[in-house]
Structure 1
Amino acid sequence: MTFTVNVTDVACAPRAIPGGVLDELRVVDDAGRRTEPFADEEGGAPLRCCLRRSAVGERIALVSYAPLRRWAAGAGIDPGAYDEQGPVFVHADGCAGFAGDDHPFAQAHRTVRRYSAEGRILGGALVGVGGLDEAFRNAFDDPDVAFVHVRAVEYGCFLYEVRRT
């Protein structure tokens, strides 16, 4: 499930990692490593499958994920030099997916990176707590922006993608 943020005349929605991709990542990640699930002893890991924090004791996995590469492959495009992969947490055994009604992981500063339909970076912004609506408005006011990636500031990790609905 996704929610819609109305920004000016553009509606957009966050997207967790797609279910089919998660099925693949739960076996072998985008770096070619076999996935090794574990019980989360501390809780609080940002899960990219359902866009919420993990609870103590949940079975999760840390996998390498290449969001732009996967998007580009589906679009028949070469991501070129913008291809990158990084660590993301996911549920080890599947989950119901994103069912939120608010911005995921909005309690800290974020970066919002804008991409064209050709998979090229068009710009980015550092976003403070409470600033995601404005960041999405600014991004999607540009008709050349096809989607944005929201990333953690502290580690640069991919959190989720946002597209027009």
Structure 2
Amino acid sequence: MSTYEIVPIAPEKLDAMRAKGEDEFGNPWKPYPAGGWEPLRCCLNESVPGEAVALICYTPWTEPSPWMEAGPVFVHAERCAGYLTRDRYPENMGRGKCMFNTFDADGNRAYEHITFVSPGDAYEDTLAELLGRPEVAFVHVRSVEAGCLAFEAHPAR
């Protein structure tokens, strides 16, 4: 049994953006054919060449925060099945150089627990260990190279 839950972008949040025709920050929703390399934050897979994707600005924060980071992420242009194995670290996402950006229960950055991982490291074990610490309420897994959010993780409920 996993000790954490992987949290991709909520399908309902993306549905609202699609219906509005723009992302949360007013950028137009512009589908285009995927090149086959895009990391999709809706289902935590890489795109298939030619499928319709969109590049949007996204933040996982649901309330104002001085820690709020927003940035570009790729998603399917239309609703997909999403990420169904939330108790498992994604095989196709967050496997390069990553920053495990830790936060406490009040939503403040837990600086002393921020951890960097690289290919060959035990991503799953590191994430489980961080989320097992009482000072860490959730983690934003971010690409070190691109700086963008891969996904959020919480302790298993």
State the TM bucket, normalised to the shorter chain. Answer: 0.7 to 0.9
Task: Report Cα offsets for 1:11-49 as digits up to 9, x if no partner.
Answer: 102111011111123332122112111111x21100000
| TM-score normalized by the length of structure 2 | 0.86
CA-based RMSD of the aligned residues comes to 1.7
- The ranges of structure 1 where at least 4 consecutive aligned residues each deviate by more than 6 angstroms after the TM superposition are none
The 5-angstrom pairing of residues 33-52 of structure 1 reads 33-40=27-34, 42-52=35-45
Q: Aligned partners of 1:102, 1:164: CA distance in 2, in Å?
A: 12
Say whether the 8 Å CA contact 2:137–2:155 is kept in structure 1.
Answer: yes
Q: Aligned partners of 2:49, 2:59: CA distance in 1, in Å?
A: 27
Identify which of 81, 100, 121 aligns with 1:96: 81
1:102 Cα offset (Å)? 4.5
Q: Aligned partners of 1:93, 1:106: CA distance in 2, in Å?
A: 23
1:157 aligns with 2:148: yes
1:108 Cα offset (Å)? 1.4
Q: Which moved more, 1:127-136 or 1:85-94?
A: 127-136
Decide which structure has greater strand share. 1
Q: Match of 2:75, as an amino acid?
A: V
Q: Match of 2:139, as an amino acid?
A: V
Structure 2 unaligned regions, length at least 5: none
Task: Report Cα offsets for 1:25-84 as digits up to 9, x if no partner.
Answer: 3332122112111111x211000000000000110000000112x2xx3xxxx41x2112
Structure 1 unaligned regions, length at least 5: 6-10
- Helix, strand or coil at the partner of 1:121: coil
Q: Which moved more, 1:138-147 or 1:149-158?
A: 138-147
| TM-score normalized by the length of structure 1 | 0.82
Calculate percent identity across the aligned residue pairs.
34
Q: Aligned partners of 1:116, 1:90: CA distance in 2, in Å?
A: 28
Q: Aligned partners of 2:25, 2:74: CA distance in 1, in Å?
A: 14
Q: Match of 1:103, as an amino acid?
A: Y
Q: Which residue of 1 aligns with 2:97?
A: 109
- Helix, strand or coil at the partner of 2:13: helix
Q: Match of 2:80, as an amino acid?
A: C
Q: Aligned partners of 1:30, 1:142: CA distance in 2, in Å?
A: 32
The 5-angstrom pairing of residues 55-134 of structure 1 reads 55-68=48-61, 70=62, 73=63, 78-79=64-65, 81-100=66-85, 102-104=88-90, 105-123=93-111, 124-129=114-119, 130-134=121-125
The number of aligned residues is 148
Say whether the 8 Å CA contact 1:25–1:63 is kept in structure 2.
Answer: no
